[in-house]
Every structure is written in C-alpha cells, then in structure tokens.
Amino acid sequence: MQYLNFDKTAVYKKLLEYSKKQVFSFKDKLNAKRVKECVIPMAAGLNYSWAAKAVDDDCIKLLGELAVEQELIAKYNALINGEVINTGENRKVLHHLLRGQQGKPVMEDGKNIGDFYLKELERFCAFASDVNQGKYKGSTGKDFSTVIQIGIGGSDLGPRALYLALENWAEANGKKKLNAKFISNVDPDDASAVIASSDLEKSLFILVSKSGTTQETLANELFVKDKLVKAGLDPSKHMAAVTSETSPLARNSAYLDSFYIDDYIGGRYSSSSAVGGCVLSLAFGPDVFKDFLKGAAEADKLALNEDIFKNAALFDALIGVWESNFLNYPYTAVLPYSQALSRFPAHLQQMDMESNGKRVNRRGEAIDYTTGPVIFGEPGTNGQHSFFQLLHQGTSIVPLQFIGFTESQKSDDVSVDNSVSQTKLNANLAAQIVAFAKGQDSSDKNKEFPGGRPSSLIYGKQLTPAALGSLLAHYENKVMFQGFIWNVNSFDQEGVQLGKILTKKVLSGDFGDDALETYSKLLGV
Amino acid sequence: MQYLNFDKTAVYKKLLEYSKKQVFSFKDKLNAKRVKECVIPMAAGLNYSWAAKAVDDDCIKLLGELAVEQELIAKYNALINGEVINTGENRKVLHHLLRGQQGKPVMEDGKNIGDFYLKELERFCAFASDVNQGKYKGSTGKDFSTVIQIGIGGSDLGPRALYLALENWAEANGKKKLNAKFISNVDPDDASAVIASSDLEKSLFILVSKSGTTQETLANELFVKDKLVKAGLDPSKHMAAVTSETSPLARNSAYLDSFYIDDYIGGRYSSSSAVGGCVLSLAFGPDVFKDFLKGAAEADKLALNEDIFKNAALFDALIGVWESNFLNYPYTAVLPYSQALSRFPAHLQQMDMESNGKRVNRRGEAIDYTTGPVIFGEPGTNGQHSFFQLLHQGTSIVPLQFIGFTESQKSDDVSVDNSVSQTKLNANLAAQIVAFAKGQDSSDKNKEFPGGRPSSLIYGKQLTPAALGSLLAHYENKVMFQGFIWNVNSFDQEGVQLGKILTKKVLSGDFGDDALETYSKLLGV
C-alpha cells in the first residue's frame, strides 16, 4: 500500500484536464430519471441522492479511478485492522471498533482492544440502567432527574448534537429517562446559567476529558463541585467520569464510577464511546444507544464496499474532492430539514474541519493543494429565511448537503391549507433542491436565479437512533476517505497546540511577546 | 451623488495594483505599539481593534479614498433621510429611525414616520409593563411566566440571539421578568417540543410576521391555537401580534393587541422594532430594551463620521472589502468569547449573507466582482476545540472577528490554578489572536503555524444592553457600507422567492417539473 500525495497520482492530472475541458451541467439534465437512478442505499434505511451534482459518467469514472489509485478501501481496511494511521501521534484509529468488529481482532500487548471497548460499553450501560432504576441516588437520597455533561470539543459537540437529535424521538417513544444538559465553555456564565436552572439534588454530572487535564473542563468541574458543596451536597455522589485509564480522573474516589476510552479514540470521533454513550444511555436508556451503534456499524460495513455505486460515504467523499479541488468551492453547507438536527452541523463542522483542515501530508511534508473545506449550516426551513439568499444569488457557489425525513419524530402535527407541517417542510426541501439546481430565467436580472448550485440529499423515513448512527458514521467515513485522498492525517490536531501554549504564558504573566501582553491588558487579564 | 459599480471606481484599480505589489505583513509588525494605536472607540464603551489586519498606511489611504469616492457617508445620510435606497422594492430603509433621529424627519403622506415608530415603541413597552405587572392574565386567570415568539428568519434569529445575549445579565441584575422561547421551523417537532415543555396557562405568544402571510409562521400559529383550545384555553387571551398595519393580523380580535412595523423595516433589520422589542421588553422590561436602543443609536451616530479612524463600522467595512475582493478570502468567522453571544453569529449570518449575497447591482445589472462573504461562527473557547484547527493550519485563510468582554455577566466565578474562569477565557482570546497572527516556526512541519491569519477584536467591559445595541448596530452599519461599496441593494432578498414558488407548486400537486415531482415523492410529499 502506498501513501501518495493527491497531486502525484495519475488520476489527479486526468481530473484536472477533464475539469478544464468540461463540467457536467446537471442544471439542464436533472429529470425524473436521473433523480431515480442516482441513489445509493445507506445503512438503517437511509439513502444518498447525488442527482443534483455536477458529475457525469466520465467524471465518475475518473473518481472511481481515484478511489482505486489512492487505495481508499485498502487504507480503510488497514485502519480497522489496527495499523498506525494517526502517524503524527503514532496511534491506531479505532472508533469503528466501538460499534462493531469490521476487521480482524485488534491486539495490543496481548490484549484484545475490541474486548476492552465492549467491556466499557457494558459497564456504562449497566451504570445507566442502575441510575435509571434508582439504584444510585443523590447525596440527599433523591432520584436523579437530570444528567449534566461537562466537556468541550468532541466531548460536547457530538454528544450534544446526538442528544438533541433523539430527545423528541425518545419522548414520543416512551424512552426518555433523564433530561440532559451540557457545560462546555470556560466562560463562567455558561456553567453558572446551567447550574442556576438545575435542581442540584437531582443532578448527576458526567465529567468528560480523555487526558483528564483539559483546562476548561477542570475549571468547570471545580465550578460545579463548589456549587454542590455550597448546596450541602456530596460531589462524589453526584459525579461520574469518562476518561482514559491513565488519567488522574481514573479510579478516583471523587467519582461514582469512571468509564474508559483510550488514545485510539479521537475526541471528534468519540460519540460512539462512553463520551457520547454514557450521557445518551442515561438520558434514553442503553438500548437506544445500542441501536444507534448498530446503525453506525451497518454504515461502517457498507463503507468497505469497493463498488463506489454501493458505497455512499466513498461516493460522497469523491464528489467533495471533485468540488473542492477541481471546481474550487472552498465551503460546504449542511442543511438538515429536521429541527432535531439543529446542532448536527456544528458537530460536522468539528469532525470535518479539525480532521482535514491540514497543510501537511501524513508524513509532515507541506502540500500545495486545497484540503478540507469550511463547513457551516443551520436547519431548514430556517436557513431559507436567512443565508439562502447568498446561496441562490451570491457571486460564489456553495455546495449543499440536504438531509430530510418523511416522518416527523413526534407525529404531533396540524393541517393548515390542506397539508400538515411535515409535508410543508419536505415540500420546501424538494423545492430548494430544484431551485438551486435549475434556477430561473428572468428579464429582471434581480429575479434571475443562475442555478447550477450542486446539492446532495440524504433521506429516510424517520430520524431514529439507528438512522442517526448511520448518518454519523456516513460523515465520519466520508471525512476519512477524503483524508486518504488528500494524504493528510485526519486524526491529529496539532493546530490547537499553539493557542494552549500562549494561553499558559498569559496566565503565568510571562508573556514573552509585547503584543500578547497588550491584548491581554485590553481584555482585563 | 453617484451609484457606481465598485470596479468602475478609480480607486478599485489602485487597490488592485497595490494588492499585487505588496500586502502588509502584520505577522512581523504586530507589537505593543500597533496594538495600542490601532483602536477605534465604538458606542457604549466598546472598541474596535484592527492591529492584526493586513493593512498599512498606504492601504488605509486607498481605503479612505474608496470611502470618499463611493460617497459612503453621503449615501448613509441619504438612507437615514428617507431616500429610496431599497431600489428593487422601491422602499425607504428606516431601521435606524427605530432607535433615534439621526437625520431629518422622514415624512410620507404628511405623516412623520419617526413619530409612528415612537408611538409603536411606547405602545409595546406599555403592553410589556402591563403584562409584567399582571394586568393581563391568561384565560384561566394566571399570570404569564413565559413569552413564546412565533416567527422565522429576521423574526426569530435576531430576537433569539438578543434574548440569549441578555438573559444572564438580566438575571444577575434583577431584570428578568419572563422566560422567552421561540418557535420558528415549520418542522412540527419544533413547535411540539416547545409546547410540550411549557405551561400553556401561563404562556403568552407573540406572533410575528410583517406580511401576515409567512407560511411557516401561520402554520405554527394554528399549531399553537389548536393546543390552546385543546387545553381549554382561549387563544385570544394568550396571543399578541407584531405585523404591518395592512396585514390580516392587524386590528384583529384574535389577538390581545397588535404592534406595527412598516415596509421600511427589513426582517433582518427588525430587531430594533416591535419584532425584537416586544419579546425583549416582556422578558426584561421596557427599560432594558430602551437601553439597547440607546447603544444602537449612539453607534448609528458614530457611523456618520467622515473620518475613517473615528468610524469603526466604516473601517470594518473597508477592511472586509479589502479582504474579500483583493485578498480573495471568501468567508469570515465570527468568534465571540462570550457564551451569551452563542447565537449572535447565526444572526450576523443572516444579516450579512442575505444583505450582500447578491450578483446584480442596485439597478439590477449583473456585476462581475465578488460581493458578500460566507459568515459562520461559534463561541470561544468552544470553537478552539472544534474548527480552529483549519483556521490555524488549513490551506485557506479565513478572516476572523473576535469579540470579548473584561467581565462576565453574572460575576459567578471560581478560581482554579490562580485564575478565575473569566480570566482564562480572555487569556485564551488574547492567545488566539497572537497565535493566528504570528504563527510558530518548527522543524516539524506538522507543528508549524504559518501565521498571517488576520483578525479584528471588538472588546468592552461587559455585555450590557447598551453594549449589545452598539454591537448590533456596528454590524448593521458595516454591512450597509459594504453594500454601498459593492453597489448592491442590501435591503431586498429576491433570492428567497423561487423556493417559495416551487414549494407552492409541490403543495398544489401541480409540479410542472418531473425532477421536482420525483424529489417530492422520495420525501413522502
């Protein structure tokens, strides 16, 4: 297996030449036949539609060659089989193993890592069941009604997005056990507001930090403990930890229990571990979380398919690279037509931008082609009344990723003007795809829509736990494949280090830079 | 006064030549002196720092010429004096008048429009006072404890962002009167979840739609009324409206009262009107909203200054154009180091992208230069653990707009490792600015930070109502100036129309396009 820079592949030049010669005008070709044909089944009943993408057979043929030449499936196999894919940190990358054994058993020091992950899964699921059954109580003997996760970055964005994604579904299906809240920012107003709105006697805190040294999270832990003590409560009866076995939080009597992940689970890929699983199992019960894992595992399996027409994550990745490196679109908007996915774009923003926002290849050599795009998004229909103006009529083209479901989660709806709101929601979604693709001529240039705005659509029946797992894994695998194409290490994040170093300098008072000192003074530090 | 396309100005060519010859390397020049000098005072005690921007004296001189040649202040004066600036819709643009009389009285049909705005301000303030004093009660005789705004786009994003921005401040200062919630999406799960979590007997709904015909808002109104009726409540005792005088919602006995705006207040600029004012006055009392307006009015006045070194909105606008059109950065990240501003970037996203995401000039003629950028952002320090990787080490440069405050809103803090969280927050902010600007060399290219990432910083003592008004007006005026530079109409949004037309076709079953019909079927419509 070979790790080649993207621009050193034979197919790169072919794609470049092809892109200069012609770009498929889907604007004129988007018809019922194309919409019906350009669909790839995904896990848990979802589907990936790429009819409104600027790719024809010739382009797809080249993208297929790219998948072969960059050995994308072989690299994915190497990853799940435990090779050191995270070169910068000399680590395996094993988040897939959290939800199923797709490859060979991954052994280390005679230990089967999959067994370790499974053991932790069962441990935090049992803990959640015990809490839900009232076996744990707060220090004044009351049942817990709220779980509050303290974490930042991957310990916050993914779990929060997934919680919000399933909250209504759980309520509608009698699965809601606890309310969940989240404290992330080191801004004290964040923790203070969450605490002020909570009944501490009934609150269970989950402290999440892999290293056990995250500045924001430790500050918030002490913030919370201070409040618990002042309320006459015993913090050790109100707090569990999710961390690595080597961290100061592990096997620590300050916590009810500690659940473990290891260095092979990156923060932004940790939603399938105790980082996401503990809070989700507490909120909705372990079965819901396990259904989520099943959907993700099914997606992981589909992503092993060499046939790009049967591998939605791979296809999506290839199109993204086509749009980024050859059509020169530097951003992508994620637009779920589902209020439940209101924070899903924020999670994808981290997952994608932190993974592939890189300027060196996996060997640490500078590269001179564009890597990961800027990701942003808000739910539809809200976005339509906001930034869609630029998407339709701006001077730049932004590729779009729509997500939609036939059914709402709560089935609580009202009919107005002969249609229920869910129907209106999806009518808007269909209308937007076609409006972006086909545009509209007009003698009044201000009312003219150029069209040719490419979009994909992931659609399914309902946003269930399994569908959510499928959706999450789709994006994780897409980002992984793109990292392989660009030959970057998608699993480290050296770009966060410099800020940490300079922050320490500021806090120590030993600035070492007069601009840093002056900015600090302006800000009252 | 002349409305010239940007690329037809004399200074455009000069800037283009200058940008090809040299771009100021602030990376090497950012020192204490520059940080101290490059500050422009803003309204309500805020300041705009541009030290970490790629502009030197020569560049600023040209940008100053641009301000003169495009007659930016004269055009702003024309706007506040009531000229028809919104050419596409043949309308005046009068949101400044909502918060103060900066120009001449604006008369129409013998009526002073400022008097009308003032009258409505006093009417909804009196209504809010009456509600807060218990003069209005729900239909079962209970006091209102929650206000729920039903609106979308500008009737949602701005008011919601401002509510969240002041909620903690109000609680800390004894000003919190009612909780506020928002229903926006036509996704029925949105309204259903808000209703399920509310005590309807104590809930007052504010229905906000300028036209009175917004599809999503009317569907949600009926959703809510259905729930009220089923709960045995009289909807007319639980709902007020904000609309235009000519809408079906005006003077309608279905509402406790109706408050009016007119066609000269665009949705995304309506936070200073009853659209934002009614819900904010109900939540925090009228005085808080009036303080907010004062801060905004002060900012509007400063924006009249011809001296670019005394006009932060103008300076910010000019730098944004420099970065967009000459440095070719197609996006901007808004990064408030304040959890209270968690949804402020989403509001700016609408304000900016809907205003200047245009491809025709104000006369409806096609233009061939880049206009408004993509705007996105999340609060720091959260973003540091998410997408900052790409901002530091990605292959593209994203200009950054930081916002920070010396003091938290609640003064509820904890000291860990010799510093309180608020200090840590701002230490991180100062560190990030310098890390982005100066970068870091390293023999390990993966640990190298190129630096040269430009940022501005708006800073102040605390996020108070007046500071929030100053901040909002700053961005409104910045976007306005940029629209004048690009010679676009920043105040219409024709780009939202095509989607509405196609949605109607879908809902009528008369698709007129087989792709539209097929997408609709996939989505169960």
| Nearest-5° Cα angle at B473, B470 to B474 | 80
Mean pLDDT of chain A: 97
Please give the radius of gyration of chain A, using alpha carbons only, rounded to the nearest integer.
24
In this structure, is the dihedral angle defined by the CA atoms of residues A435, A441, A444 and A445, taken in order, positive or negative? positive
B191 and A CB contact within 8 Å: yes
Q: Which of B152, B501, B515 sits opposite A382 (nearest CB)?
A: B152
A-chain residues near B519 (CB < 8 A): 35, 49, 429-430, 433-434, 457
Whether residue A370 and residue B396 make contact (CB cut-off 8 A), yes or no, is yes
> How close, in Å, is residue B143 to chain A by CA atoms?
21
Distances (CA, A) of B458 to A161, B48, B59, B335, B424: 29, 5, 21, 10, 18
Nearest-angstrom CA–CA distance, A469 and A161: 12
The answer on pLDDT for B163 being more than 90 is yes
Nearest-angstrom CA–CA distance, A453 and B498: 14
A423 and B CB contact within 8 Å: yes
Nearest-angstrom CA–CA distance, A383 and A104: 44
Whether residue B359 and residue A387 make contact (CB cut-off 8 A), yes or no, is no
B-chain residues near A267 (CB < 8 A): 385
Smallest Cα–Cα separation from B334: which of A91, A122, A374, A493?
Answer: A374
The verdict on whether B167 is a catalytic residue reads no
> Bridge-partner residues for A206, per DSSP?
A149, A240
The answer on pLDDT for A375 being more than 90 is yes
pLDDT of residue B173: 98
Interface list for A 90-149 with B (CB within 8 A): none
The answer on pLDDT for B49 being more than 90 is yes
pLDDT digits (tens, 9 = 90+) for A275-290: 999 999 999 999 999 9
> How close, in Å, is residue B503 to chain A by CA atoms?
5
pLDDT of residue A385: 96
With a CB cutoff of 8 Å and minimum separation 6, the contacts of A273 are: A95, A98, A117, A120, A242, A261, A265
pLDDT digits (tens, 9 = 90+) for B20-47: 998 899 999 999 999 999 999 999 999 9
The verdict on whether A135 is a catalytic residue reads no
ipTM associated with this complex? 0.97
Give the phi and the psi of residue A268 in degrees, each rounded to 5: -75, -10
Instruction: Provide the pLDDT confidence category of residue A447 given band limits of 50, 70 and 90.
Output: very high
pLDDT of residue B453: 98
A-chain residues near B501 (CB < 8 A): 431
A-chain residues near B461 (CB < 8 A): 524
Looking at chain B, which residue has its C-alpha nearest residue A88?
A: B446
> How close, in Å, is residue B3 to chain A by CA atoms?
17
pLDDT digits (tens, 9 = 90+) for B327-342: 999 999 999 999 999 9
Nearest-angstrom CA–CA distance, B341 and B357: 24
Nearest-angstrom CA–CA distance, A399 and A401: 7
The answer on pLDDT for A134 being more than 90 is yes
Q: Which of B349, B396, B494 sits opposite A446 (nearest CB)?
A: B494
Nearest-angstrom CA–CA distance, A94 and A456: 28
pLDDT of residue A332: 98
Whether residue A389 and residue B523 make contact (CB cut-off 8 A), yes or no, is no
pLDDT of residue A2: 95
Nearest-angstrom CA–CA distance, A447 and B224: 35
The predicted model gives B471-499 an average pLDDT of 98
Whether residue B389 and residue A354 make contact (CB cut-off 8 A), yes or no, is yes
Q: Which two tokens stand for residue A406?
A: 């036939």
Whether residue B427 and residue A193 make contact (CB cut-off 8 A), yes or no, is no
Nearest-angstrom CA–CA distance, B494 and B220: 24
Instruction: Provide the pLDDT confidence category of residue B272 given band limits of 50, 70 and 90.
Output: very high
> How close, in Å, is residue B422 to chain A by CA atoms?
6
The verdict on whether B37 is a catalytic residue reads no
Nearest-angstrom CA–CA distance, A358 and A345: 20
Residue with tokens 């829509």: A449
The answer on pLDDT for B491 being more than 90 is yes
Interface list for A 355-384 with B (CB within 8 A): 356-360, 364-367, 369-372, 374-376, 378-382, 384
Q: Given 3-state DSSP classes, what are the helix, strand and coil percentages for chain A, each rounded to the nearest 5?
A: 50, 15, 35
Our measurement of the distance from residue B525's CA atom to the centroid of its chain's CA atoms, rounded to an integer in Å, reads: 34
pLDDT digits (tens, 9 = 90+) for A136-147: 999 999 999 999
The answer on pLDDT for B247 being more than 90 is yes
> How close, in Å, is residue A368 to chain B by CA atoms?
8
Mean pLDDT of chain B: 97
Which element (helix H / strand E) includes A455?
A: strand A455-460
A-B Cβ pairs (cutoff 8 Å, strict): 500
Nearest-angstrom CA–CA distance, B194 and B204: 13
Looking at chain A, which residue has its C-alpha nearest residue B385?
A: A153
Whether residue B222 and residue A414 make contact (CB cut-off 8 A), yes or no, is yes
B514 and A CB contact within 8 Å: yes
Q: Which two tokens stand for residue A420?
A: 């229920």
The predicted model gives A450-466 an average pLDDT of 98
pLDDT digits (tens, 9 = 90+) for A216-239: 999 999 999 999 999 999 999 999
pLDDT digits (tens, 9 = 90+) for A469-491: 999 999 999 999 999 999 999 99
Whether residue A193 and residue B413 make contact (CB cut-off 8 A), yes or no, is no
Nearest-angstrom CA–CA distance, B280 and B178: 9
Q: Given 3-state DSSP classes, what are the helix, strand and coil percentages for chain B, each rounded to the nearest 5?
A: 50, 15, 35
pLDDT of residue B22: 83
Instruction: Provide the pLDDT confidence category of residue A494 given band limits of 50, 70 and 90.
Output: very high
> How close, in Å, is residue A372 to chain B by CA atoms?
7
Looking at chain B, which residue has its C-alpha nearest residue A27?
A: B515
> How close, in Å, is residue A472 to chain B by CA atoms?
16
Whether residue B372 and residue A390 make contact (CB cut-off 8 A), yes or no, is yes
Q: Which of B378, B422, B506 sits opposite A430 (nearest CB)?
A: B506
A495 and B CB contact within 8 Å: yes
Whether residue A156 and residue B385 make contact (CB cut-off 8 A), yes or no, is yes
Nearest-angstrom CA–CA distance, A370 and A358: 9
- Decide: helix, strand or coil at residue B274: helix
pLDDT digits (tens, 9 = 90+) for A397-427: 999 999 999 999 999 999 999 999 999 999 9
Q: Which of A188, A428, A459 sits opposite B410 (nearest CB)?
A: A188
Determine which one of A120, A201, A221, A354 is catalytic: A354
Residue with tokens 């996401």: A276
How many Cα atoms are found within 13 Å in the side-chain-facing hemisphere of B444? 9
Nearest-angstrom CA–CA distance, B165 and A96: 39
Instruction: Provide the pLDDT confidence category of residue A22 given band limits of 50, 70 and 90.
Output: confident
B-chain residues near A505 (CB < 8 A): 431
Interface list for B 382-421 with A (CB within 8 A): 382, 384-396, 398, 404, 406-410, 412-414, 416-421
Which element (helix H / strand E) includes B520?
A: helix B514-522
Instruction: Provide the pLDDT confidence category of residue B286 given band limits of 50, 70 and 90.
Output: very high
A-chain residues near B385 (CB < 8 A): 152-154, 156, 216, 267, 350, 496
Instruction: Provide the pLDDT confidence category of residue B367 given band limits of 50, 70 and 90.
Output: very high
Determine which one of B167, B354, B378, B476 is catalytic: B354
> How close, in Å, is residue B216 to chain A by CA atoms?
8
Q: Name residue B451's amino acid.
A: G
Burial A187-205 (b: 16+ CB within 10 A, else e): bbbbbbbbbeebebbbbbb
